[in-house]
Chains A and B, each alone.
Chain A
């Protein structure tokens, strides 16, 4: 799949932001005054910024409100509802923290659940796509939620955040391992895509058009195997190992958290880039294009 910057930014930033909001909302990090302002501000900025980024890849963003209509079937629609609900429900808690209004935590905890639910709905947008076998797996929501929780824990300065961070490493590796086998497991080949497996072994002779098209740009992205391996190593290092070291060993404070978070974010972007770039859509079969 085409690793579009808008979608990568959207899913990483909003995931992190919603994670942070969840922690704040749940009361796992409570602050007041300026600290609260910065924390909540950061959470909202990341979440809203991410969501805003996602509109950049819309062909007709002016109609975005219509995206609320199909919550019965569409995970994207559900995400829209969940995001708005989370952001709205968390707002009183944010204000309460900011101005020390003493709103009961329960409200914030509902918001926290909604925030994580939003992340879950985001992940389901990908997970539901059977045509992309790598995504169509429980590892996708688990990863998205883990990222959100880890990001939240880290940004909210939890002392134990390094545990989450370090746990991300095996999870990532596991997801990649499983993901690497998913396409084959789905069993789709050029033979099944064309049904010509009943005649013999199928190869592409001529692509439909010699010119490019939307499908080739959007759905068919080929990453070199070597390239991918290196990027995975970098991603694990940045997402998990380095920030975990910092969070565990350096004295906890805004500076160390900021450095760790920046590294983590960099890794998350790389991971998310791979999440798209390595995901093969079965339509690639028609073009004889299998990734890596």
Chain B
């Protein structure tokens, strides 16, 4: 037999439709191949700025997501007891009428009784706008339990954050250091970037208790003890300062290091010293006299002392030069030998100063000084939840930014670059709005950046205005809200009772809750009157998740290929350091079920409720559907959800009238749009006049907003002052001590709260989770391909613990925390901090959920660590149960968890094991 004739050019598909992936917040561009009207194959869009053609494991198996048997098929109304899964199908008209009948009376009497919280839905500027129109103060998305420490720590320090809001200068950086990153939102860009570094042979260092994934390919690994990164970072700062390896020029020009700290005892102490015009000022080295901070030609003196007031630089140096931060002093607590800390500091200094680079690109700063070149310090950093999901995460995030700042590596070539609309100073962000009144919209957006106690979301009587107690003395900078406190607070009626819980796209009865077992009980708990304590729950999901069983009304969503979505510069865009970018999704295929895109449903609800921005004068709906909104909604004059193809003829960028053909233009352009940053504006953005002008033109600000990086944080100091008794708005006494510590205007480290509590009580081991690159939270398990890759999870134990307890393959461990216990299968891992155990996040599933067989490995062996994590810390002698959150931002401290462990030998299944979720959709058969 001869080699068979092979057609090496088979037809690939009938048509390619370009849209945006949805299996995570990375939002890669995808080419959806269609054959006979059905999706046949998905690949990355090479022209797309985010992924440049590549896809991750999830993105490439999207076809199994849109065809999953777990898809909800019709609106449902609960008929049996909550949680029993007894539902009846109803029509959309009935469903919407029911929702309106619940919501309308609330709006007319007490809008705050509707709490609307959303998951990682990628349309927060829209859902927030809806909630604002409704008038409830109770709106937030998932950021509070996710990584608000990282977001807020960045915004308050450099006017931009990690997450996906910036990225290393992958082309030029020579040394890249990652703290606590397993995957992150910028999944593919980080991988592409790492690939570039590897191809160039640049150096990568991973700081992480666990050496998998990105950390596995790092050239050097520091297996740090969880919760101690702040100490390590401050120790690096100590070493760099001690050796004089700091970028003085950068500090003097671009940061508040040369500003003076008010030394006068009293209500101004510790604030930045202002002149008669209420402007901060510097001492000019040329004259020794005060000079405007933004004056042309001024050479700020970092070492100045003026009338007894010293510069921020001096305060900073004095604090960190203290021997308390010497490597030898922190090594034990960090679990990293002092010599390695010295070596890392040396490496940072060597690359930043010994291997500095310079771009031949003239530019002019906001002061009017022109610069012939763009010098760069090719050291870059990235950090994410490993730092932020601790109760000292905000301060640690700030510390890391200060480290970047003293190396002069933010917004310089080779360093960390922000993506438009960032950089953006704190002052350019809104402050929280929270005053609700019957029948009225809220006066502004819910979430924002608090600058002082007067902006806290407190009622007249000082009690929290929001159900999640965001923006209170317990967590003043809770810029993303506290979704993890929503159900516990609503259940406790603290600060008040609500009526309707409206949830969108968050699996709150499972993997996104702390203390999952108790949360499930809270959702079904009844009061003495026999009524549910949380009276009504409306939920929108696309799939039969664990949460669905707990809803009274289910609004089934479409999948991501069946609807319009908008990835907008008004919330989380797809920009690059060199370009602002936004994108859309559009229905590349029609739903085959009675489901509707949630955003369109929300507009419909808004119109039925008569919410002003959603109805015309005559009361009829203003927007036909979400697509109509995307094109025609005007946020500020000339500014809408999308920046591309604006103006009647589609020729305008950033600002311009609505364009009825805008979506068509996006589709023709591959589903996205980019506005490129001019070359002279590409770096030094916060201070670069060309960038500032471009940003105004492209609609990010109304006027140029140059600013200085905040090494010293004045908003924080204002809270400390309040805690010290200054000012009229005073915290309750029980939080004073905590505020004084946590709101330090210079980054500090304190042991994570969970830590101090637990370690003395016999919980010696740190327990963590990591995201698997091939699963997205709970909803990868419904994907026939992905669940074969990761259908169960193990608890990974370091060699020391493995040996100490005599574990063998096949054994299970009982893991006990101060708030619960689980039993889970174990496996050995050597490349792991010796006091840390961990597992993959959200692999465990409840039996019967996601259209999986009840015997599915996810449900039998898979397990969640969440049962061990409480949303409240154990009582510590003050009669209080503090929230398990960062005291500054309210960030959920998932990774403070401390446990002890026992070997219980082989077991048939993981514990706890719950009764199966009743089938909401039929169990999946063949695919």
Contacts and interface: CB of A to CB of B under 8 A. Distances in A.
B859 to A, nearest CB: 13
Interface stretch (B20-28, B726-734, B788-796): B788-796
21 contacts: A66-B1, A69-B1, A70-B1, A203-B830, A205-B829, A208-B789, A209-B788, A209-B789, A209-B790, A209-B791, A210-B788, A210-B789, A210-B790, A210-B791, A210-B792, A210-B857, A211-B787, A211-B788, A211-B789, A211-B791, A211-B857
A203 B796 CA distance: 14
Contacts of B1: 66, 69-70
Interface in B767-795: 787-792
Interface in A195-223: 203, 205, 208-211
Interface string A223-241: 0000000000000000000
A284 to B, nearest CB: 15
A211 B858 CA distance: 11
Interface residues of A, number: 9
| 5 shortest interchain CB distances as A-B pairs | A211-B788, A210-B791, A209-B788, A209-B789, A210-B792
Contacts of A210: 788-792, 857
Nearest to A66: B1
B60 to A, nearest CB: 15
Interface in A69-127: 69-70
A208 B791 CA distance: 11
Main secondary structure of the interface of B (DSSP, over half): loop
Given A70-B1, A211-B789, A211-B791, 10 more contacts: A209-B788, A209-B789, A209-B790, A209-B791, A210-B788, A210-B790, A210-B791, A210-B792, A211-B787, A211-B857
Nearest to B829: A205
Interface in B784-836: 787-792, 829-830
Contacts of A208: 789
Nearest to B858: A210
Nearest to A213: B788
A292 B790 CA distance: 27
Contacts of B792: 210
Contacts of B787: 211
Contacts of A70: 1
Contacts of B790: 209-210
Nearest to B791: A210
The CB with the most chain B CB atoms within 10 A, among A70, A203, A209, A210, is that of: A210
Contacts of B829: 205
A70 B2 CA distance: 11
Contacts of A211: 787-789, 791, 857
Contacts of B789: 208-211
B854 to A, nearest CB: 17
Nearest to A208: B789
A211 B852 CA distance: 14
Contacts of B791: 209-211
Nearest to B789: A209
B326 to A, nearest CB: 33
B906 to A, nearest CB: 16
Nearest to B1: A69
B262 to A, nearest CB: 55
A205 B788 CA distance: 17
B215 to A, nearest CB: 13
A71 to B, nearest CB: 12
Nearest to A212: B788
A206 B787 CA distance: 15
B773 to A, nearest CB: 12
Contacts of A205: 829
A208 B789 CA distance: 7
A81 to B, nearest CB: 15
Interface in B240-256: none
A205 B798 CA distance: 12
A205 B829 CA distance: 7
A43 B787 CA distance: 50
Contacts of B830: 203
A209 to B, nearest CB: 5
B602 to A, nearest CB: 38
B926 to A, nearest CB: 16
A208 B1 CA distance: 36
A87 to B, nearest CB: 24
A203 B857 CA distance: 24
Interface in A47-83: 66, 69-70
B244 to A, nearest CB: 39
Interface in B515-554: none
Nearest to B793: A210
A210 B789 CA distance: 6
A254 B151 CA distance: 89
Nearest to B788: A211
A245 B741 CA distance: 91
A66 B4 CA distance: 14
Nearest to B212: A205
A70 B829 CA distance: 48
B785 to A, nearest CB: 10
A66 B1 CA distance: 9
A203 B792 CA distance: 20
A286 to B, nearest CB: 16
Contacts of B857: 210-211
Contacts of A203: 830
Contacts of A209: 788-791
